[in-house]
Structure 1
Amino acid sequence: MADEVAIQPSLAPQATSNFLSNAQADQVWSDVNRAALIAELGTLSAHGLEPAHYHLARLKTDDLTAAERDQIATDAWMSAAAHMLSGKLDPVSLKPEWTADTRDADFATVLAYALATGTISGSLEQFAPIQSDYTLLKADLARLRQHSALPIARVSEGDPLKPGMESARARQVQVRLIEMGLLEADTLSGQMDDTTVSAVKALQAQEGLEEDGIVGAATLRALNRDDQTRIDQIRANMERWRWLPADLGRRHVRANIAGFDVTTYEDGVPQAIRAIIVGNPKRKTPIFSDQIDYIVFNPWWETPSSIARADKLPLFQKDPGAVKRQGFEIRDSAGRVVPPSSVDWKSYTASNFPYRIRQAPGPQNALGQVKIMFPNAHNVYLHDTPNRDLFSLKQRALSSGCVRTKDPIGLAEWLLSDTEGWDRAAIDQAVATGKETRADLAEPVPVHIVYFTAVPNGCGGVRYLDDIYERDSAVLTGLDTEPVALKSE
């Protein structure tokens, strides 16, 4: 189900009133400045915003008094500036856990200067995100809009199409693959034959999907993605960039849920990309920003109460021996260790389970050998996993919310590179002890858990990812909805 969305409360009413109260001239907006504003609002389309949402129609009319023009023009500029700076939508309405710092600006000072110097043109552009990824999305949005978006041969919804199947939908797949240049024009058998399956696998490889040759839900979305779909995807992701702080950190970590990867950055340059496993659709990984403070090697796993009740209690009821076999420790509400043999597991339910569960360091520990900590209200962090074979999968929305990362030792080494006494040899020695060991970073490193479905492809273009949590539609709904505070009376 798509997330609901609330439009960010406009700064315009109060900001407009304050600005006009402090204005020095009786008429703030001259004819020249109004004309420049009309043209400037038109540039919002290049950022995925709708110019019509900012009084554009009324500004173009000639029946406004000077006072009305000042009011409407100031309101339009203030609102557009606020939306360019920190987004049209309130990210908290989409995801209540959102904690990233928003960007800030002195709109009144900027507008006063622009009006006085006749530089309204270009005055809104300065509030756009400066990150290269945003610039790339903006460029691809312009490129796509230049095309005369021709209709594509769509594949209808239905059950997964597997190798060997024959149907009208299989023929639709072949038509679309031919259109995409992945299949020869004479291949219209209506059967998922070897040639067609190979073409499907080629598409899946391009899209970062599991290369199984099966046309399931994700592959179907990739087949049916036309230019307009890409345009919408870009607009949603440009809005997400406006929610982030201007400074992500000279050295920072960025984990993209939709991309199943975590990237380390230094001075704006990617250093290394590692595969990650993220929360499944029922236990989605939250989106937020924080800072990494310390790392724990050979960590105990303090099993979250929700997982203890929903997962571990049913397991222990079915197999009481799993408690000791998997290295779990049971503690009561006072923190005392409770012998597992003394617990009548079947007498408890998820609603009355009174115990705290911990798992000792070891080969079966759910956190593996490394836990990278940025204490937060969601109890989410980056960590190792004993199930490293899962990194071979392309679709990795498999966890209970935390982010499992490939090569956690290498990531820890990068994080600790400025911390005295924690070179690779010291890290390896700490891991080898098998005992829980904490390493505090000399300086905290910002970490951003983000959700981008349109990202750089590494070759100067954009790669479009599967919207695994079905979040893009909510953002688009908000972008396409006229702000209530700006509707014409």
Structure 2
Amino acid sequence: MIKRLKRLALACAAAPLLGLSPASAVIVNYDCRACETGTRFYQARELSLAWTGPANAHLYTDLITAVRGAASHGLDPADYHLALLEAADPLQADLDLDEVATDAYLTLAAHLLSGRLNPVTIEPDWTAARRGRDLVAYLQAALGNDAIAESLEALAPDQPGYHALRAALTRFETIAAAGGWPGVDAGPTVRPGDRGPRVAQIRARLGATGDLAAAMPPTDPATLPPDPEYFDPALDASVRIFQHRASLDADGVVGALTVAQLNTSADQRVAQIRANLERWRWLPDDLGRRHIRVNIADYSLEARNDGVVERTHDVIVGRLYRRTPVFSASMTYFVINPWWETPPSLAARDKLPAFRADPGAVTRLGFQVIDRSGTLVDPATIDWASVPANNFPYRLRQAPGPLNALGEIKFMFPNRHNVYLHDTPTRGLFAQTRRDFSSGCVRVRDPLALAEWVAAESPGMTPARLQSIAAGNDETRISLGRAIPVHILYWTAVLDSDTGVRFVNDVYDRDAVLIAALDSPPPPLE
């Protein structure tokens, strides 16, 4: 029964045996799910046609419209059999064509609902719950209501960030289709008041994206046009708008970093937006009434309540070789004036070399050394040069205080990565624009203010009470009355209240893998 779908399902099941790439295997698995769902769909209908024949052809036409509209979500309409659907005649009752249409709907529905790709193939640590729905029942209802395109649109994330990215996608695709924008030659730094041909290039580049017009006040028609080679105040303002959108210091000075962002092509921006639309589709509808979002790439934390950002904090994330993972967990408590139980890997990899170079640092930094029997060891009696890094024989604990690696507060949300939010004694690093300095955990600027927000619904935990505890030196655990979801995410294009969408440096180079997977062709239709 329904031979084509059965053949495709068998091909999907055999995918791992065929040596397919991870991205291809993900796409195959999704189509396999659509195959199985399609089989169940026709079984429920007792093989009656849904799309073809005179009574159903209008639904088929609506489906083609919806498949074309997949492009506005950063998806490729070709993945949903667009060419085949457009070439066929839906007025002719045809079970094979009907199955193709069903496969197109169910596959697109699954991709809009929970992503074209399986997130764990891109982010192996992904743990956020994903959206699900009975797509057979959903399709039956859509057919009965003559609401094919509307039903598919309703499956996409209904989030301001997703809507902003879709609008930006349309804008940048239009610019790319018109040939993109002119480039800016490399050269010395250009500042307001300068004059020359590179100033004219900057003006032309910003004019192509509307940034120049956005920064210029209305002018008298009789006024002479600006000198294109003069870096005037209007150009200064437009450069600052652009720099903000590109997550650069908005100082109006066009140096190498700004030139590099100016020369990022429209096609590259389109791809970047598509990658982040996919990341949105991986997330659940409900991230939590009160929740915390960390954007690794943007070095930022948002504390949200009922959709409103109530606090923002700068953060420091993991180095390139100790990358902060992408995952979700629930914060259940935080600790004021924490002891730092040094992870064994860091004790051997970081602290042992430091103690070999300076044995006095053990006591000076407030560390306790504990042997395998649980006995405190006087660090002065240890020959650190002879202590092996492999099979490190000690446990290290750092006492609360101004030099403690966790700083004043650590926020705990149990997870298998042993990653959490915490303060830091090296607060000067927050002045840096690029802040990937940690060993994987997320360091938070102004953690006491975040603690006050976290504890706002915990009885008795007033700001004054928290400040009093922090002023002491005793480790104190504060349990939360209600867990707070924490989402450690990775976005390189984000909603911005001033410019619509702001682009973020891809610090871990994760976009390229995701874009390549999105561009991988689906398995052939049999």
**TM-score, length-normalised on structure 1?**
0.88
Amino acid corresponding to residue 27 of structure 1 in structure 2: L
Provide the secondary structure at the position in 2 that maps to 1:121.
Answer: helix
In 2, distance between residues paired with 1:44 and 1:309?
51
Amino acid corresponding to residue 253 of structure 1 in structure 2: I
- When residues 214 and 379 of structure 1 are mapped into structure 2, their CA distance, relative to the original with a 3 A threshold, is farther
| More displaced stretch, 126-135 vs 352-361 | 352-361
Which of the numbers 18, 36, 41 marks the counterpart of 2:62? Answer: 36
CA contact (8 A) 2:355 2:361 kept: yes
CA contact (8 A) 1:331 1:337 kept: yes
For 1:66-98, what per-residue CA distance to the aligned partner results, in whole angstroms no more than 9, with x for missing partners? 221222111111111111011111111112111
Shift of 1:373: 0.7
Q: Following superposition of structure 1 onto structure 2, how do residues 43-82 of structure 1 map, counting pairs within 5 Å? A: 43-62=69-88, 66-82=94-110
Shift of 1:383: 0.7
Q: Is 1:242 aligned to 2:285, yes or no? A: no
Q: Is 1:92 aligned to 2:120, yes or no? A: yes
Q: Is 1:369 aligned to 2:408, yes or no? A: yes
Q: Is 1:142 aligned to 2:175, yes or no? A: no
CA contact (8 A) 2:199 2:230 kept: no
For 1:377-423, what per-residue CA distance to the aligned partner results, in whole angstroms no more than 9, with x for missing partners? 11111111111121122211111111111111111001101111110
In 1, distance between residues paired with 2:330 and 2:61?
45
Shift of 1:35: 1.6
Shift of 1:288: 0.8
In 2, distance between residues paired with 1:223 and 1:343?
56
Shift of 1:120: 1.4
CA contact (8 A) 1:299 1:436 kept: yes
Q: Is 1:274 aligned to 2:313, yes or no? A: yes
In 2, distance between residues paired with 1:59 and 1:205?
44
Shift of 1:257: 1.0
- When residues 211 and 350 of structure 1 are mapped into structure 2, their CA distance, relative to the original with a 3 A threshold, is farther
Amino acid corresponding to residue 143 of structure 1 in structure 2: R
- Show the counterpart of 1:328: 367
Aligned residue pairs: how many?
Answer: 469
Shift of 1:350: 3.0
Provide the secondary structure at the position in 1 that maps to 2:313.
Answer: strand
Structure 1 stretches lacking a partner, 5+ long: 165-169, 189-195
Amino acid corresponding to residue 14 of structure 1 in structure 2: E
Q: Following superposition of structure 1 onto structure 2, how do residues 53-452 of structure 1 map, counting pairs within 5 Å? A: 53-62=79-88, 66-147=94-175, 148-154=177-183, 175-176=201-202, 179-180=205-206, 185-186=228-229, 204=243, 207-209=246-248, 215=255, 219-452=258-491
Provide the secondary structure at the position in 1 that maps to 2:480.
Answer: strand
Which of the numbers 498, 510, 524 marks the counterpart of 1:459? Answer: 498
Q: Is 1:22 aligned to 2:44, yes or no? A: yes
Amino acid corresponding to residue 376 of structure 2 in structure 1: V
- When residues 313 and 230 of structure 1 are mapped into structure 2, their CA distance, relative to the original with a 3 A threshold, is same
For 1:133-181, what per-residue CA distance to the aligned partner results, in whole angstroms no more than 9, with x for missing partners? 1111112222333335434344689xxx7769xxxxx987983466336
CA RMSD, 1 decimal: 2.8
CA contact (8 A) 1:153 1:172 kept: no
Amino acid corresponding to residue 525 of structure 2 in structure 1: S
CA contact (8 A) 1:369 1:384 kept: yes
For 1:77-136, what per-residue CA distance to the aligned partner results, in whole angstroms no more than 9, with x for missing partners? 111111101111111111211110001111011101122332212121111111111111
Provide the secondary structure at the position in 2 that maps to 1:122.
Answer: helix
For 1:339-368, what per-residue CA distance to the aligned partner results, in whole angstroms no more than 9, with x for missing partners? 212322222343232222221101100111
In 2, distance between residues paired with 1:332 and 1:175?
66
Shift of 1:25: 5.2
CA contact (8 A) 1:45 1:51 kept: yes
For 1:210-263, what per-residue CA distance to the aligned partner results, in whole angstroms no more than 9, with x for missing partners? 5796855x5454122232222221111111011111101111111111111101
Provide the secondary structure at the position in 1 that maps to 2:110.
Answer: helix
- When residues 122 and 211 of structure 1 are mapped into structure 2, their CA distance, relative to the original with a 3 A threshold, is closer
In 2, distance between residues paired with 1:400 and 1:209?
25
| More displaced stretch, 173-182 vs 12-21 | 173-182
- When residues 322 and 203 of structure 1 are mapped into structure 2, their CA distance, relative to the original with a 3 A threshold, is farther
CA contact (8 A) 1:210 1:393 kept: no
In 2, distance between residues paired with 1:206 and 1:145?
17
Provide the secondary structure at the position in 1 that maps to 2:284.
Answer: coil
Provide the secondary structure at the position in 2 that maps to 1:123.
Answer: helix
Provide the secondary structure at the position in 2 that maps to 1:73.
Answer: helix
Shift of 1:60: 2.2
In 1, distance between residues paired with 2:260 and 2:117?
26
Shift of 1:209: 3.0
- When residues 199 and 311 of structure 1 are mapped into structure 2, their CA distance, relative to the original with a 3 A threshold, is farther
CA contact (8 A) 1:208 1:394 kept: no
Q: Percent same amino acid among aligned pairs?
A: 43
| More displaced stretch, 298-307 vs 207-216 | 207-216
Provide the secondary structure at the position in 1 that maps to 2:148.
Answer: coil
- When residues 355 and 130 of structure 1 are mapped into structure 2, their CA distance, relative to the original with a 3 A threshold, is same
For 1:448-475, what per-residue CA distance to the aligned partner results, in whole angstroms no more than 9, with x for missing partners? 1111111122226111111111111111
- Show the counterpart of 1:12: 34
| More displaced stretch, 55-64 vs 307-316 | 55-64
CA contact (8 A) 1:293 1:374 kept: yes
Amino acid corresponding to residue 229 of structure 2 in structure 1: D
Provide the secondary structure at the position in 1 that maps to 2:402.
Answer: coil
Structure of higher RCO (CA pairs closer than 8 Å, 6+ residues apart) = 1
Shift of 1:205: 5.4
Shift of 1:47: 0.6
Amino acid corresponding to residue 146 of structure 1 in structure 2: T
In 2, distance between residues paired with 1:376 and 1:354?
25
In 1, distance between residues paired with 2:87 and 2:366?
74
